[in-house]
Amino acid sequence: MNKNELISKVAETSGLTKADAARAVDGVLDSISSSLSSKQEVRLAGFGTFTVTHRKATTGRNPRTGAPIQIAASNMPKFRPGKGLREAVN
């Protein structure tokens, strides 16, 4: 499912127009992104938790030449599914 399909499904199940559903989906995604960028955790009961983890700088290898390269430290988003989502999938 891509974003347009998600918007269509939200519009269908909620009775909103596609334009209103698109604004709602964009609002939710923007809110999650802005919370994660300020290193806040986002918990959605029954669905899951979005967090930010820190990856340390490491030394890797260029697969083509074998030369060592530096991989910079970075923050990565992480998702941990909740009980309700795990049960729905299984």
Is 3-89 a domain of CATH 4.10.520.10?
Answer: yes
- Map out the domains of the chain as residue ranges: 3-89
Instruction: Classify strands 74-81 and 42-44 as parallel, antiparallel or unpaired.
Output: unpaired
How far CA 45 is from CA of 48, 83, 85, in Å, comes to 6, 9, 10
* pTM of structure: 0.79
Give the residues across from 36 on adjacent strands.
none
Which tens digit of pLDDT belongs to each residue from 1-25?
Answer: 999 999 999 999 999 999 999 999 9
Residue range 22-71, pLDDT digits in tens: 999 999 999 999 999 999 999 999 999 999 999 999 999 999 999 999 99
